[in-house]
Structure 1
Amino acid sequence: MKTVLELIRKAGGWHPGLYLKITNEPYTALVIEAVDESGPCGLPVVSVAHYSEWNGDLMRDPEMCFELGFAGGAHLSPFYWRKDFLGIEQWSRFIQDGNYCFHPQLHEQHESFAKLWDKNLAAQRFVEAFTDKCILG
């Protein structure tokens, strides 16, 4: 998710309370935010989502959560995917009963989707659409 990392960098870097909303017509706005809870490996979490509205409710279309790591350079590692319109919520890495759980095939799907999404965000020029007005937190 090089595009998301670049947007975070342009916003001054990750920090608790980070909240970005990048509007880029005709595409659905992109929301990037720091999550208060740590990820399955204890690292900071970044949520990335497109939100649509349906019957007055905000719907994630989709949302992914990533752990933000710095070893070997800043990188995002996915562990959660959600698409409200399909009623799907998936964890490929999580803690259960104090144990780290990992679903390799699902994690591979999450990584593959993240790469495709990143490619699309770059092609849709979300970095170029970013201004300081996108920083809401």
Structure 2
Amino acid sequence: MQTILDLLKLAGGFRPTLYLKIENPPYLALVIEATPEPGPMGLPALSVTHYGEQNGDLMRDPEMCFEICLPFGGMPYLDPFYYRNDYVAVEQWSRRIWSGHYVALLDLHKQHERFAVVWDRNLRLQGFAEAFTDAAIRS
């Protein structure tokens, strides 16, 4: 999710109060926000969401949550652990803490990683980085 990392950099970096809303018509607005809880490995986490509306309700299309990973001597990357799409009634956790234990569903995690690559390419091609302005920063 290099596009999301680039947007974070444009917004001044990650912070616990981060909330960005990037309007880029004709596409659905993109919302990037810090989650109040860390990810399953205890790392800071982000929610990345396109919101639509149906019958007056906000609908995630989709939402993915990522842990922000900063390996020693390496480049930061986003590791997915959650996917949701309200229009098709899908909610999936590929990594989480369950009854005090770390649980990883490896095949589902690989699906989430592949989807994130495709979504990242779409966000880049749709021009979300170019659409970013300081007005997108809501925190």
Partner of 2:134: 132
- 2:6 is paired with a residue whose SS is helix
Question: Given the two structures, how large is their TM-score scaled by the length of structure 1?
Answer: 0.99
Shift of 1:98: 1.1
C-alpha distance after superposition, 1:57-93 (max 9, x if no partner) = 0000000000001112211000000000111100000
Alignment size in residue pairs = 137
- Distance, in Å, in 2 between the alignment partners of 1:40 and 1:86 is 25
Q: Percent identity?
A: 58
Name structure 2 gaps, 5 residues minimum: none
- 1:73 is paired with a residue whose SS is coil
- 1:16 is paired with a residue whose SS is coil
Partner of 1:16: 16
Question: Given the two structures, how large is their TM-score scaled by the length of structure 2?
Answer: 0.97
- 1:108 is paired with a residue whose SS is helix
- Distance, in Å, in 1 between the alignment partners of 2:87 and 2:123 is 20
- Distance, in Å, in 1 between the alignment partners of 2:18 and 2:138 is 8
Shift of 1:30: 0.3
Aligned Cα root-mean-square deviation (Å): 0.5
Partner of 2:61: 61
Partner of 1:40: 40
